[in-house]
Amino acid sequence: MDLLEKIKTLSGKYSEEVITFRRHLHANPELSYQEYNTVRYVSQQLKQFGLSPREGVATTGLIVEVQGKNPGKKSVALRADMDALPIQEANKVPYASKVPGVMHACGHDVHTSSLLGTAKILHEVRDHFEGTVRLLFQPGEEKTPGGASYMIRDGALENPRPSGIIGQHVFPLLPAGKIGFREGMYMASSDEIYLRVIGKGGHGAAPELAIDPIVIASHIIIALQQIISRNASPKQPTVLTFGNIIGEGATNIIPNEVNIAGTFRAMNEEWRAAGLQKIRKMAESIAEGMGGKCEVEISHGYPYLQNNPELTRRIRKAAEAYVGADNVVDIDITLAAEDFAYYSQVIPASFYRLGTANKEKSITSYVHTPTFDIDEDALKIGPGLMAWMAVQELHN
């Protein structure tokens, strides 16, 4: 039996165990930077495999290495995130969240359990490859500044620096069994915009005695869309969305202020900086011109994600060997954001998608929804696929 068939056999053999990991994690979710029980559970499993995890990285993260023959020859990194979301689960399944208002609605339980399976497989075949595979179990992907930035700060990509890093994410737009890839520009940067429009409150029947922040806010929201339609290149994907407006007046009360919150997303760091500057300047100027004031707060989020073309081509070729070329597909860019982008700024990185949908089983809900779930048949593929990618990358 060659190494590919051995890894595929082990992935199938351990799939029920990996599903058990996933269901435990799904039932016991923890929010960003609070993954204390999660990381303890992950560490326990790794130790049972015979591995020696290093805990305390980024506080609630850990790193573990699987060393093959000649471990110093080359290294490659694999990453999984572990945090959940503040969502009340609506699924009626035996492994539903036991924590009110907290749910693994983005599949991080899948990523973590899958990487545990990968660790077990790699440890079992360690005599069949050269080099070292470094596995990163990361906290806080869902909350800025992003656990990836803390992992990097704590040396996750040093001593030695891996030749590249690979990340896997569930994808409910693909059926289980399919794997999606995208070379180059893939995911957007993400910044939060907070506007405090200050006027002067008054009676709705005497607007001349007030400075109406609701009217000012309306002008600002409409005007800022011109930054997208008239300043951003039509060839440059970008979006500005305001999803929250609070102006606590009444039918006959003009409030003192209006608060607005939104998100700005781009796929070019130069345009990102220029767009944010234009947002600030335009909002302040419009408010001043109408007799009010606008305080602009920008919370800088994740950078945009660039999939290294050469690395992506290599792991795509590995995936074709593992699941067959017919099951490997191209995926489009997305304006969603991922803190995996931080890794891509340091070393070659590639972020691919694991299909998890199944229409026949009515498993089609998108991520970040109360009914998100996966076809667990995907966990028969995910662990072995990532192990094979890592081994092939070490060989390359």
Catalytic entry in 81, 141, 375, 376: 141
Query: Catalytic residue at 83?
Result: yes
DSSP sequence for 118-181: HHHHHHHTGGGSBSEEEEEEE--TTSTT-HHHHHHHTTTT-SSPPS-EEEEEEEEEEETT-EEE
**Choosing from 83, 124, 339, 393, which is the catalytic residue?**
83
- Residue 21's nearest CA partner among 95, 77, 102 is 95
- Beta strands in the chain, from DSSP E residues, in sequence order: 54-57, 61-67, 75-81, 132-138, 165-175, 179-181, 184-187, 191-198, 202-203, 238-246, 253-254, 257-266, 293-300, 305-307, 328-330, 349-357
Torsion angles phi and psi, residue 346, rounded to 5 = -110, -45
Buried b / exposed e over 209-238, threshold 16 CB at 10 Å, is ebbbbebbbeebbeebeebbeeebeeeebb
- Distance spanning both ends of the chain, measured CA to CA: 21
3-state secondary structure of 186: strand
Q: Within 10 Å of residue 288's Cβ, how many Cβ atoms?
A: 12
Q: What is the β-pairing status of strands 75-81 and 132-138?
A: parallel
Q: Which residues contact 310 (CB under 8 A, 6 or more apart)?
A: 348
Q: Which residues are catalytic?
A: 83, 141
